[in-house]
Amino acid sequence: MNLKYVIIGRKANIGKNVQIGNFSTIENDVIIGDNTWIGNNVTILNGCRIGSNCQVYSGAVLAGIPQDLKYKGEYTLLEIGNYNIIREFVTINRGTASKQKTVVGDHNLIMSNAHIGHDCSIGNNCIIGNNCIIGFSVGMAGEVRVEDYVNISGLSVIHQFSVIGRHSMISGMSRIVKDIPPFIMAAREPLSYVGLNVIGLKRSSFSIDKIEELKDIYRVIFQEKRNTSLALKLIENEFKQTMERDLILEFIRESKRGIVKGLFS
Protein backbone atom coordinates (compact mmCIF):
# COMPACT_ATOMS: atom_id res chain seq x y z
CA MET A 1 0.00 0.00 0.00
CA ASN A 2 1.53 3.30 -1.12
CA LEU A 3 1.01 5.87 1.64
CA LYS A 4 2.91 8.78 0.11
CA TYR A 5 0.91 12.02 0.34
CA VAL A 6 -2.06 10.16 1.86
CA ILE A 7 -3.93 11.01 5.08
CA ILE A 8 -5.44 7.97 6.83
CA GLY A 9 -7.11 8.12 10.21
CA ARG A 10 -5.45 5.96 12.84
CA LYS A 11 -8.67 4.09 13.55
CA ALA A 12 -9.59 3.41 9.92
CA ASN A 13 -9.94 -0.31 9.15
CA ILE A 14 -8.17 -0.97 5.86
CA GLY A 15 -8.31 -4.50 4.38
CA LYS A 16 -5.61 -6.54 2.70
CA ASN A 17 -4.10 -5.52 -0.62
CA VAL A 18 -5.84 -2.13 -0.66
CA GLN A 19 -4.21 0.46 -2.93
CA ILE A 20 -4.63 4.15 -2.16
CA GLY A 21 -3.56 6.92 -4.55
CA ASN A 22 -1.82 10.20 -3.78
CA PHE A 23 -3.54 13.07 -1.96
CA SER A 24 -6.49 10.94 -0.81
CA THR A 25 -8.02 11.36 2.65
CA ILE A 26 -9.59 8.58 4.70
CA GLU A 27 -11.11 9.49 8.07
CA ASN A 28 -11.14 7.41 11.26
CA ASP A 29 -14.59 5.82 11.09
CA VAL A 30 -14.07 4.11 7.74
CA ILE A 31 -13.91 0.43 6.74
CA ILE A 32 -12.47 -0.62 3.38
CA GLY A 33 -12.55 -4.28 2.29
CA ASP A 34 -9.80 -6.36 0.72
CA ASN A 35 -8.48 -5.74 -2.79
CA THR A 36 -10.17 -2.37 -3.18
CA TRP A 37 -8.44 0.30 -5.26
CA ILE A 38 -8.70 3.98 -4.27
CA GLY A 39 -7.47 6.53 -6.83
CA ASN A 40 -5.86 9.94 -6.33
CA ASN A 41 -7.64 12.82 -4.59
CA VAL A 42 -10.44 10.67 -3.17
CA THR A 43 -12.17 11.76 0.05
CA ILE A 44 -13.71 9.04 2.23
CA LEU A 45 -15.41 10.48 5.29
CA ASN A 46 -16.55 9.11 8.64
CA GLY A 47 -19.37 6.58 8.45
CA CYS A 48 -18.29 5.03 5.14
CA ARG A 49 -18.20 1.24 4.71
CA ILE A 50 -16.76 -0.08 1.44
CA GLY A 51 -16.69 -3.77 0.55
CA SER A 52 -14.04 -5.76 -1.27
CA ASN A 53 -12.83 -5.52 -4.87
CA CYS A 54 -14.19 -2.02 -5.45
CA GLN A 55 -12.66 0.76 -7.54
CA VAL A 56 -13.04 4.41 -6.52
CA TYR A 57 -11.68 6.96 -9.02
CA SER A 58 -10.21 10.43 -8.63
CA GLY A 59 -12.22 13.19 -7.03
CA ALA A 60 -14.96 10.99 -5.56
CA VAL A 61 -16.37 12.10 -2.19
CA LEU A 62 -18.03 9.32 -0.18
CA ALA A 63 -20.13 9.72 2.99
CA GLY A 64 -20.44 13.49 2.86
CA ILE A 65 -23.01 14.93 5.21
CA PRO A 66 -26.56 14.93 3.78
CA GLN A 67 -27.77 17.90 1.79
CA ASP A 68 -30.85 18.00 3.96
CA LEU A 69 -31.91 20.93 6.12
CA LYS A 70 -33.35 18.51 8.68
CA TYR A 71 -29.98 16.81 9.28
CA LYS A 72 -28.75 17.68 12.77
CA GLY A 73 -25.46 15.82 12.90
CA GLU A 74 -26.85 12.41 13.92
CA TYR A 75 -24.62 9.36 13.40
CA THR A 76 -25.40 7.70 10.09
CA LEU A 77 -23.67 5.50 7.50
CA LEU A 78 -22.92 4.98 3.84
CA GLU A 79 -22.71 1.26 3.05
CA ILE A 80 -21.16 0.24 -0.28
CA GLY A 81 -21.02 -3.45 -1.21
CA ASN A 82 -18.54 -5.47 -3.25
CA TYR A 83 -17.26 -5.17 -6.83
CA ASN A 84 -18.51 -1.63 -7.38
CA ILE A 85 -16.92 0.83 -9.80
CA ILE A 86 -17.30 4.44 -8.69
CA ARG A 87 -15.94 6.82 -11.31
CA GLU A 88 -14.52 10.33 -11.18
CA PHE A 89 -16.15 13.01 -9.02
CA VAL A 90 -19.05 10.87 -7.86
CA THR A 91 -20.62 12.09 -4.61
CA ILE A 92 -22.61 9.80 -2.32
CA ASN A 93 -24.04 11.17 0.93
CA ARG A 94 -24.59 9.15 4.07
CA GLY A 95 -28.04 8.78 5.62
CA THR A 96 -30.16 10.85 7.98
CA ALA A 97 -32.38 9.98 10.93
CA SER A 98 -34.99 8.83 8.38
CA LYS A 99 -33.26 5.56 7.43
CA GLN A 100 -29.88 5.95 9.15
CA LYS A 101 -27.94 4.90 6.05
CA THR A 102 -27.46 5.18 2.32
CA VAL A 103 -26.90 1.80 0.66
CA VAL A 104 -25.20 0.77 -2.59
CA GLY A 105 -25.32 -2.97 -3.33
CA ASP A 106 -22.88 -5.12 -5.34
CA HIS A 107 -21.56 -5.04 -8.92
CA ASN A 108 -22.72 -1.51 -9.75
CA LEU A 109 -21.17 1.00 -12.15
CA ILE A 110 -21.66 4.59 -11.06
CA MET A 111 -20.35 6.88 -13.80
CA SER A 112 -18.58 10.23 -13.52
CA ASN A 113 -20.19 13.16 -11.69
CA ALA A 114 -23.23 11.18 -10.55
CA HIS A 115 -24.75 12.15 -7.20
CA ILE A 116 -26.61 9.79 -4.86
CA GLY A 117 -28.45 11.59 -2.07
CA HIS A 118 -29.04 10.64 1.55
CA ASP A 119 -30.98 7.50 2.46
CA CYS A 120 -31.09 6.23 -1.13
CA SER A 121 -30.90 2.51 -1.79
CA ILE A 122 -29.21 1.21 -4.94
CA GLY A 123 -29.58 -2.52 -5.65
CA ASN A 124 -27.19 -4.85 -7.46
CA ASN A 125 -25.90 -4.84 -11.04
CA CYS A 126 -27.10 -1.31 -11.78
CA ILE A 127 -25.62 1.27 -14.14
CA ILE A 128 -25.95 4.92 -13.12
CA GLY A 129 -25.02 7.20 -16.03
CA ASN A 130 -22.83 10.28 -16.14
CA ASN A 131 -24.13 13.33 -14.25
CA CYS A 132 -27.23 11.57 -12.92
CA ILE A 133 -28.77 13.00 -9.76
CA ILE A 134 -30.58 10.45 -7.63
CA GLY A 135 -32.79 12.12 -5.06
CA PHE A 136 -33.37 15.77 -6.00
CA SER A 137 -35.70 18.43 -4.64
CA VAL A 138 -35.59 21.90 -3.17
CA GLY A 139 -34.31 22.01 0.40
CA MET A 140 -33.68 18.32 0.81
CA ALA A 141 -32.97 15.29 -1.31
CA GLY A 142 -32.70 11.54 -1.23
CA GLU A 143 -34.69 8.45 -0.25
CA VAL A 144 -34.88 6.99 -3.75
CA ARG A 145 -34.96 3.19 -4.15
CA VAL A 146 -33.35 1.71 -7.24
CA GLU A 147 -33.88 -2.04 -7.57
CA ASP A 148 -31.57 -4.62 -9.20
CA TYR A 149 -30.40 -4.52 -12.83
CA VAL A 150 -31.54 -0.96 -13.49
CA ASN A 151 -29.90 1.14 -16.20
CA ILE A 152 -30.26 4.91 -15.79
CA SER A 153 -28.80 6.85 -18.72
CA GLY A 154 -26.82 10.06 -18.37
CA LEU A 155 -28.10 13.46 -17.24
CA SER A 156 -31.22 12.00 -15.65
CA VAL A 157 -32.64 13.32 -12.38
CA ILE A 158 -34.81 11.30 -10.00
CA HIS A 159 -37.12 13.00 -7.53
CA GLN A 160 -36.90 12.04 -3.88
CA PHE A 161 -38.98 9.04 -2.72
CA SER A 162 -39.25 7.63 -6.25
CA VAL A 163 -38.88 3.87 -6.84
CA ILE A 164 -37.24 2.42 -9.95
CA GLY A 165 -38.28 -1.19 -10.57
CA ARG A 166 -35.84 -3.96 -11.39
CA HIS A 167 -34.64 -4.64 -14.93
CA SER A 168 -35.91 -1.26 -16.11
CA MET A 169 -34.09 1.23 -18.33
CA ILE A 170 -34.46 5.00 -18.36
CA SER A 171 -33.39 7.08 -21.34
CA GLY A 172 -30.92 9.93 -21.06
CA MET A 173 -31.87 13.42 -19.86
CA SER A 174 -35.01 12.09 -18.20
CA ARG A 175 -36.90 13.78 -15.37
CA ILE A 176 -38.27 11.03 -13.12
CA VAL A 177 -41.07 12.19 -10.83
CA LYS A 178 -43.18 9.00 -10.89
CA ASP A 179 -42.31 5.38 -10.09
CA ILE A 180 -40.94 3.21 -12.89
CA PRO A 181 -42.43 -0.34 -12.88
CA PRO A 182 -40.09 -3.32 -13.35
CA PHE A 183 -38.97 -4.64 -16.74
CA ILE A 184 -39.90 -1.58 -18.79
CA MET A 185 -38.17 1.09 -20.84
CA ALA A 186 -39.11 4.68 -20.03
CA ALA A 187 -38.42 7.65 -22.32
CA ARG A 188 -39.85 10.89 -23.79
CA GLU A 189 -41.05 14.00 -21.97
CA PRO A 190 -43.05 13.65 -19.83
CA LEU A 191 -41.43 10.33 -19.04
CA SER A 192 -43.60 7.48 -20.33
CA TYR A 193 -43.72 3.73 -20.87
CA VAL A 194 -42.40 3.07 -24.38
CA GLY A 195 -42.08 -0.73 -24.22
CA LEU A 196 -40.22 -3.51 -22.46
CA ASN A 197 -36.50 -3.37 -21.77
CA VAL A 198 -36.14 -6.30 -24.18
CA ILE A 199 -32.38 -6.12 -24.67
CA GLY A 200 -31.76 -5.92 -20.94
CA LEU A 201 -34.11 -8.84 -20.29
CA LYS A 202 -32.41 -11.00 -22.91
CA ARG A 203 -29.01 -10.19 -21.40
CA SER A 204 -30.39 -11.37 -18.07
CA SER A 205 -31.47 -14.68 -19.67
CA PHE A 206 -35.23 -14.06 -19.75
CA SER A 207 -36.85 -16.50 -22.16
CA ILE A 208 -38.83 -15.39 -25.22
CA ASP A 209 -41.99 -16.80 -23.61
CA LYS A 210 -41.38 -14.78 -20.45
CA ILE A 211 -40.79 -11.61 -22.44
CA GLU A 212 -44.07 -12.18 -24.34
CA GLU A 213 -45.86 -12.67 -21.02
CA LEU A 214 -44.52 -9.33 -19.75
CA LYS A 215 -45.52 -7.60 -22.99
CA ASP A 216 -49.08 -8.92 -22.62
CA ILE A 217 -49.29 -7.73 -18.99
CA TYR A 218 -48.08 -4.24 -19.80
CA ARG A 219 -50.35 -4.04 -22.84
CA VAL A 220 -53.28 -4.32 -20.42
CA ILE A 221 -51.83 -1.69 -18.11
CA PHE A 222 -50.65 0.91 -20.61
CA GLN A 223 -52.30 0.36 -23.99
CA GLU A 224 -55.90 -0.79 -23.51
CA LYS A 225 -57.30 2.43 -22.07
CA ARG A 226 -58.35 1.04 -18.67
CA ASN A 227 -57.84 2.74 -15.34
CA THR A 228 -55.08 1.17 -13.30
CA SER A 229 -57.29 -0.57 -10.74
CA LEU A 230 -59.35 -2.35 -13.39
CA ALA A 231 -56.21 -3.30 -15.32
CA LEU A 232 -54.62 -4.87 -12.25
CA LYS A 233 -57.80 -6.78 -11.41
CA LEU A 234 -57.98 -8.10 -14.98
CA ILE A 235 -54.34 -9.24 -14.86
CA GLU A 236 -54.86 -10.96 -11.53
CA ASN A 237 -57.93 -12.83 -12.81
CA GLU A 238 -56.87 -13.72 -16.34
CA PHE A 239 -53.08 -14.19 -16.27
CA LYS A 240 -51.38 -17.25 -14.89
CA GLN A 241 -49.73 -16.60 -11.54
CA THR A 242 -45.99 -16.17 -11.97
CA MET A 243 -43.29 -14.46 -9.94
CA GLU A 244 -43.04 -11.66 -12.49
CA ARG A 245 -46.80 -11.10 -12.68
CA ASP A 246 -47.06 -10.86 -8.91
CA LEU A 247 -44.03 -8.58 -8.71
CA ILE A 248 -45.65 -6.13 -11.16
CA LEU A 249 -48.98 -6.20 -9.32
CA GLU A 250 -47.31 -5.63 -5.96
CA PHE A 251 -45.09 -2.83 -7.27
CA ILE A 252 -47.95 -0.84 -8.77
CA ARG A 253 -50.30 -1.35 -5.82
CA GLU A 254 -47.64 -0.22 -3.35
CA SER A 255 -46.57 2.81 -5.37
CA LYS A 256 -46.98 5.99 -3.33
CA ARG A 257 -46.08 8.45 -6.08
CA GLY A 258 -47.99 6.67 -8.85
CA ILE A 259 -46.43 5.15 -11.95
CA VAL A 260 -45.52 6.69 -15.28
CA LYS A 261 -48.18 6.81 -17.98
CA GLY A 262 -48.20 4.99 -21.28
CA LEU A 263 -46.97 6.94 -24.29
CA PHE A 264 -50.47 7.13 -25.77
CA SER A 265 -52.47 7.12 -22.54
Q: Is 142 a catalytic residue?
A: yes
Q: What is the pTM of this model?
A: 0.95
Q: Which of these is catalytic: 33, 105, 115, 119? A: 119
User: How crowded is the C-beta side of 222, counted as CA atoms within 13 Å?
Assistant: 24
Active-site entry in 118, 123, 179, 200: 118
Helix, strand, coil proportions of the chain in percent (round to 5)? 15, 30, 55
| pLDDT for position 263 | 80
pLDDT, tens digit, 9 for 90 and up, residues 202-248: 999 999 999 999 999 999 999 998 999 999 999 999 999 999 999 99
119 is catalytic: yes
Query: Which position among 47, 81, 95, 142 bears the catalytic label?
Result: 142
- Strand partners of residue 163: 145
CB-based contacts of 210: which residues, under 8 Å, 6+ apart? Answer: 201, 244
Beta strand 184-187 with 192-196 is antiparallel
118 catalytically annotated: yes
What pLDDT digit, counting tens, does each position of 131-174 carry?
999 987 643 358 999 999 999 999 999 999 999 999 999 999 99
Cβ proximity of 20 and 6 under 8 Å: yes
CB 5 within 8 A of CB 11: no
